[in-house]
Amino acid sequence: MVMSKFNFAVLISGSGSNLQAMIDAIDSKIIDGSICCVLSNNPDAYGLKRAKKADIPVEVINHKEFTSREEFDEAMIKRLYKYKPKLVVLSGFMRILSQVFVNQFHGRLLNIHPSLLPKYPGLNTHQRVLDSGDKYHGVTIHFVDTTLDGGPICAQSQLLVKTKSAEKLQNQIHDLEHSLYPKVIDWFSKKRLKLVEGIAYLDNKPIKI
């Protein structure tokens, strides 16, 4: 994969379906940029195969080999440093990041969460939406801070809940994720999206969700 002026790193723990959506978006020019590396804390993550197939450098740092969260995060920072990413994108990365990591990439660290935050931070969001009888469900992309699934919101996309199956709902939400995340990454690449004094701006206007 040819590197462009804008490059970003992707952190994964699992299948990497959002990673694949980003790879496809780069190929179809939806994202004006390139992925400089894919880093995983899970040596068996299927997303690593997706990266290798696309000729993207991969890095594996097993969190189980470290005695503290900070030590693991320092190792990730050191590994990412050689790629000099303009942006770090969390894509199903199942580790809570320490302040050490968040501070290092402040203002250029994005995460996607399968709910309409601030509703349902954490896990099992699809079942929680069904259990609550919510009319709408969706996804949120946000800048990362040290709170769980917190940080200034960049964008949201939603759908009408028409199923009682958490699995079907999850698949529908994946479709929203695969469409929205590449668009937000491209906003950042074009300097349309910025974090200024704790507030997310798009085209120089505060984002209000």
Active-site residue, 126 included: no
Please name the residue ranges forming H helices in the chain.
17-27, 47-53, 69-81, 99-104, 125-132, 166-189
Catalytic-role residue among 113, 126, 137, 142: 113
The Cα-based distances of 143 to 25, 114, 156, 171 in angstroms read 21, 15, 12, 24
Burial class of residue 23 in the structure, from the number of CB atoms within 10 Å of its CB (0-12 exposed, 13-18 middle, 19+ buried)? buried
Question: Which residues are CB-contacts of 48 (< 8 A; sequence separation ≥ 6)?
Answer: 12, 16, 38, 40, 58, 60
Would you state the structure tokens that stand for residue 71, as one six-digit string? 């030590």
Q: Quote the CA–CA distance of 81 and 100 in Å, as a whole number.
A: 14
Residues catalogued as catalytic = 113
